[in-house]
Structure 1
Amino acid sequence: MRILDKYSIKNFMPPAIYCLVSFIFMYMIIDLFGHLDEILRNKVAAGILAQYYYLLLPIIFVQVIPVVILLATIYVFSDMNKHNEITAMKSAGVSIIKIVMPFLVVGISVSLAVMLINEMAVPKANIETTRIKQTYIEHIKGGQEKNSV
Structure 2
Amino acid sequence: MVNDGFLKIFNNLPKYDSAQPFKAWVRTIMVNTAIDYYRSNKKYQLHIAVDEVEVTDFDDDVISKLSVEEIMGLVRKLSPMYRMVFMLYVVEGYKHKEIAERLGIQEGTSKSNLQDARIKLQEMIRIHYPHLFDIYAVRKNKLNEN
TM bin (shorter chain): under 0.3
Which of the two has higher C-alpha Rg? 2
The answer to which structure has the higher helix fraction is 1
Could you say which structure has the greater relative contact order, defined with CA pairs below 8 angstroms and 6 or more residues apart?
Answer: 1
TM-score, with structure 1 as normaliser: 0.27
TM-score, with structure 2 as normaliser: 0.27
